[in-house]
Structure 1
Amino acid sequence: MARAYTAQESDLAAEGAETAADRPGAVDGRPARGGRGPGAWRRDWRRDWRGPGAWRRGWVVAALALLLCGVLALHARVPNAVGNLGSLVETFLPWAGLGVPLLGLCALLRRSLTALAALLLPAVVWFGMFGGLITDKTGDGGDLTVVTHNVDAGNPDPERTARDLAESGADVLALEELPARSTDLYRRTLAETHPFQAVEGTIGVFSKYPLRDTAPVDIKIGWTRALRTTVDAPRGEVAVFAAHLPSVRVKVAAGFTARERDDAAEQLGQAIAAEPLDRVVLLGDLNGTMNDRALAPVTAQMRSTQGAAGAGFGFSWPASFPMTRIDQIMVRGVEPVSSWTLPATGSDHLPLAASLTL
């Protein structure tokens, strides 16, 4: 037999039905089982960030952030004993900064305050190391404009490359990887703009100003890939070294094969250290970056024009998508005014340029 509801019970039942119908996910006045309203995820997001769980999650991401910080801050301690791993890391070290936004995205997805706090460390270290390269430090003027370019022995259009270099505005050009079959072509094409020329092996210096005391530099690799000459510039004489250090390779079994390059860098560093002139400019393809410890015999006594007066990293290789700066312009006793990369030629390297005050 049905029981009659009191007026109070009827009111309570109606209030309950109305509340259920208004719950998130209700359809046509009926609450959906397990339904969630459109604002539910926002409430969950805010609750996850405010709760203690935000500090308890994301330990793996935090550990990766600390590892990244260690690689950046202690890259010089990454051992070279196995496959020259340290030099390989240092060649592409600026790209380690990409790990910060990547891990930051992971931290946001994990809703982890711990991971975000840990990411501050590699971010600060990276900006401390490379932040100065991002800013534009280029100036105006200069007494001497120099250009270096690995013209590539397999260059399909050396004549075009020579014309581009002739029009670059350089006072002194250093060309590396000059093939025997194209050396005369470069000489002829550059003769009008750069009549003073010196070629030793696969290295050439082409100048608007007289050259003298030119001699090969023995970097102990069996053939000539470095030279030294004196440029009689209007503001005084300058010792110019042009060099192409041995190439390096990344091999699965052997790792980063750079021993010959490292030994040649030692020889080049000794030659520069023995240079009696106060003004010294080094132009060339060193197959290594300023961060690479193997180039310390050279980099310890010279300044990079890009670091001192450039804008950005000045990556030069590969020309199709530059990822590292293995071509260098370095100076001693000379003040860099500006430093930049030139447009691609037919080579797999980009040319580099710098304006100097003597």
Structure 2
Amino acid sequence: MKHIPKDIIKSCLKESAKFLAYSYSAFIICYFILKLIFWDRLWIVGLISTFIPLIFFPTFLIAIIGLLIIKKRWFTIISAIACIFLISWLHIKYFSPAPINITNSQPRLKILSHNVGWYATQSPTLFKLIHQQKPDIIFLQEIVRKHTERAFTWLKADYPYQIGTPPVGILSKYPIVSSEILHLAGHRETQQRAIIKFNEQEVVIYNMQATGPWFKKSRIGRFLKIPVYKYGKRAPEIQDLVERVERENLPVIVAGDFNMTDETQDYDRVQKVMQDSFRESGLGFGFTWPNGWELKLLVKRSNWRLNYPVCRIDYIWYSNHWGAKSSSVLEATESDHLPVGAELILLK
């Protein structure tokens, strides 16, 4: 076997680094142009946006490649500016919480929301989570009968007001005045609207489960089929929710699995009528999904478990009657969603 000279290896690595740097730079520029023009109307933009901010992190590597390998002044300056913008954006958006200042006399509600993943989350685990967190109101999605028969029963003493109608459920320490099952935009997904009595006034709560996006085969031409990222059913549901919230006169809390990230146009629609508790008072990226996914690998027919979520799709929202004291992502259960919690203060 012939020995490959070191200078050839070095040259190949250098050219590969240049190719990656230029390709990634072109990819990011194209993404921003397409998002500016189409936003969620183009499925490829919606797919890429799902993985932001992770997809921006290679920018730091590109700056190093530009400085040490490409060594072109214009590229080094541009990549350095990009790094400065990225750091500033990350700091402002994810690491600058602004929780409200409160007094002990102001009424507050502790909220917990969790998509339990159907049969994945065991009733003892759910009971333990709630017992540790001690929330005032609990929003649950993708529950099954075993949860209402076991966990709900075990929690009856602390949460006497319960609406367990699989696949959604609400548990409350405060009286539930009324409740109804919703199918936003007439779709199959199930949501809940209820009114509770808190601090001698009524509060509207929505338990949210939006239709999840996924890949479906789409025909290109006569013979070719490619996987396309489909999320069109979610937008009418979100619009229906927004219109309902706009008509509410009482304080509103909406929590649940929205199946959208904070880079989507649907998120922007919700943000116009409510505030995101984690954005206001949480610290970090707040990723909640997919936790514990098992990915099939070809190597040795083994599985690899994804224990680090890469998207934030579970939220606790509130109307301007409230302020957020704190918000956090909680300890994992057996579900592929992490639970989220927030403490809200009634301001008016």
Does the CA contact (< 8 Å) of 1:72 and 1:96 recur in 2?
A: no
**Does residue 301 of structure 1 match 2:248?**
no
Equivalent residue, structure 1, for 2:236: 263
Does the CA contact (< 8 Å) of 2:39 and 2:265 recur in 1?
A: no
Q: What letter is aligned with 2:344?
A: L
Q: What letter is aligned with 1:271?
A: R
Equivalent residue, structure 1, for 2:73: 113
Q: Any idea what SS the aligned residue of 1:344 has?
A: coil
- Going from structure 1 to structure 2, the CA distance change for 1:332 and 1:136 (only over 3 Å counts) comes to closer
Q: Which has the higher strand share?
A: 2
Using the alignment, how far apart are the partners of 1:69 and 1:218 within structure 2?
39
Using the alignment, how far apart are the partners of 2:187 and 2:242 within structure 1?
18
- Going from structure 1 to structure 2, the CA distance change for 1:266 and 1:182 (only over 3 Å counts) comes to same
Equivalent residue, structure 2, for 1:283: 255
| Residues 152-231 of structure 1: pairs in structure 2 closer than 5 A | 152-155=117-120, 157-223=122-188, 225-231=190-196
Deviates more, 1:156-165 or 1:67-76: 67-76
Using the alignment, how far apart are the partners of 1:254 and 1:275 within structure 2?
40
Match of 1:345 among 322, 333, 342: 333
| Residues 1-358 of structure 1: pairs in structure 2 closer than 5 A | 61=21, 64-65=24-25, 67-68=27-28, 71=31, 75-78=35-38, 80-82=40-42, 84-107=43-66, 108-132=68-92, 133-137=94-98, 143-155=108-120, 157-223=122-188, 225-234=190-199, 236-251=201-216, 253-277=226-250, 279-319=251-291, 320-333=307-320, 334-358=322-346
- Going from structure 1 to structure 2, the CA distance change for 1:224 and 1:214 (only over 3 Å counts) comes to farther
Q: Any idea what SS the aligned residue of 2:180 has?
A: strand
* Per-residue deviation, 1:281: 1.0
Using the alignment, how far apart are the partners of 1:233 and 1:81 within structure 2?
41
- Going from structure 1 to structure 2, the CA distance change for 1:178 and 1:59 (only over 3 Å counts) comes to closer
Q: What letter is aligned with 1:204?
A: G
Q: Any idea what SS the aligned residue of 1:93 has?
A: coil
* Per-residue deviation, 1:237: 3.0
Does the CA contact (< 8 Å) of 1:229 and 1:240 recur in 2?
A: yes
Q: What letter is aligned with 1:130?
A: L
- Going from structure 1 to structure 2, the CA distance change for 1:60 and 1:316 (only over 3 Å counts) comes to closer
* Per-residue deviation, 1:259: 1.5
Unaligned 5+ runs, structure 2: 1-17, 218-225, 292-306
Which of structure 1's runs of 4+ aligned residues deviate more than 6 A?
A: 139-142
Unaligned 5+ runs, structure 1: 1-57
Using the alignment, how far apart are the partners of 2:229 and 2:58 within structure 1?
22
* Per-residue deviation, 1:121: 3.9
Q: Over residues 293-330 of structure 1, what are the superposed CA-to-partner deviations in whole Å (9 max), with x where a residue is unaligned?
A: 13443232111111111111111111221111001111
Using the alignment, how far apart are the partners of 1:270 and 1:199 within structure 2?
26
Using the alignment, how far apart are the partners of 1:289 and 1:267 within structure 2?
18
Q: Over residues 328-357 of structure 1, what are the superposed CA-to-partner deviations in whole Å (9 max), with x where a residue is unaligned?
A: 111112111111011001111110011111
Q: Any idea what SS the aligned residue of 1:324 has?
A: coil
TM-score, reference length from structure 1: 0.75
Does the CA contact (< 8 Å) of 2:189 and 2:211 recur in 1?
A: no
- Going from structure 1 to structure 2, the CA distance change for 1:81 and 1:308 (only over 3 Å counts) comes to closer
Using the alignment, how far apart are the partners of 1:130 and 1:331 within structure 2?
24
Does the CA contact (< 8 Å) of 1:75 and 1:89 recur in 2?
A: no
Q: What letter is aligned with 1:309?
A: S
Deviates more, 1:301-310 or 1:126-135: 126-135
Q: What letter is aligned with 2:139?
A: A
Does the CA contact (< 8 Å) of 1:221 and 1:260 recur in 2?
A: no
Using the alignment, how far apart are the partners of 1:136 and 1:69 within structure 2?
29
- The total of aligned residue pairs comes to 300
- Going from structure 1 to structure 2, the CA distance change for 1:192 and 1:97 (only over 3 Å counts) comes to same
Does the CA contact (< 8 Å) of 2:40 and 2:264 recur in 1?
A: no
Q: Any idea what SS the aligned residue of 1:315 has?
A: coil
Larger radius of gyration: 1
Using the alignment, how far apart are the partners of 1:73 and 1:329 within structure 2?
31
Deviates more, 1:114-123 or 1:130-139: 130-139
Does the CA contact (< 8 Å) of 1:75 and 1:86 recur in 2?
A: yes
* Per-residue deviation, 1:175: 0.2
